[in-house]
Amino acid sequence: MPQRRVVTGRSQEPRQRFAEELRTLRTGSGTSLRALGERLGWDWSLFGKMEKGETLGSPEVVQALDTHYGTPGLLLALWELAAGDKSQFKERYRRYMALEAQAVSLWHFAVGVPPGLLQTPGYAREVLAAGRLVGGELEQQVTARLTRRDVLEGEGAPHFRTILSETVLRTPLDDMDAWQEQLRHLLVMSERRMVAIQVLPHRAGPHSLSHTDVMFLRLPGGRAVAYVESASRGELIEEAEQVERLQQMYDAVRDVALAPAESRRYIQQVLEEALCDRST
């Protein structure tokens, strides 16, 4: 992975410095604005406006650029300086995204919604709209979320396991076509060699992760970190003892979850029920 570059000899005004760095990285890679837009899934004009300093873009757009250029954390740091006090992209999450790009394996527990890495466009759009995003900002965030799915693509993709609380499968979307598409996508992904999906049924009873989404990352060299997210906050955990304690809690949940093959049958059953509800 390319080493993080030191930015020198550039504007000291944060917004202009951010724009200059974007332009330097793109031109240095020999990529046109149109080609960059096609690669990352955004309208190329957005990147042109960002390079002119006319807009900063969203944190997820900038994270995708950091991943594309192999500069983990650099552009996000400059973006946060340019955004000033308006920044909502916390340091812990920024560091987590940089670590996710390096992970050799990921394992996850979902309380109420599928992980972003497995969400379909329709699902992501309805969930983000529930957070009061509208118009162009909504579409931009949908595209950003879908771009993250690239983590699971290609020959070097990490192994990914997720345990879905039954609540995830029992909370349909208002758009039933989009809901059925999401269920089918889970079935397709569950057949991949490097992806394992398990369902934790309600009958398993109370457990220690009942109110907490958690993602574990195994990094090169064997070190593991965890990102814990509740309804009100997220926290990156790197201290080995705390990660181990969370891992034990995760293992206890995994012990009572349905096996992958049984989970596929369960998801298929939920899909069939959704199809029946639609036809009645």
Residues in CB range of 26: below 8 A, 6 or more apart: 33, 36, 47, 51
Amino acid 89: pLDDT? 46
For residue 192, give the DSSP letter.
S
Average pLDDT, the chain: 86
Amino acid 169: pLDDT? 97
Mean pLDDT of the 24-32 span:
93
Distances (CA, A) of 242 to 90, 96, 121, 246: 21, 16, 35, 6
The domain limits of the chain are 14-81, 102-114+158-277
Distances (CA, A) of 8 to 11, 20, 78, 271: 9, 11, 13, 55
CATH class of 14-81: mainly alpha
The pTM of this model reads 0.69
pLDDT tens figures, 222-279: 999 999 886 556 788 899 999 999 999 999 999 999 999 999 999 999 999 999 876 6
Residues in CB range of 74: below 8 A, 6 or more apart: 4, 5, 7, 21, 66
pLDDT tens figures, 37-50: 888 888 888 898 88
Angle, alpha carbons 196-231-120 (nearest 5°):
40
Reported confidence tier of residue 17, pLDDT bands at 50, 70, 90 = confident
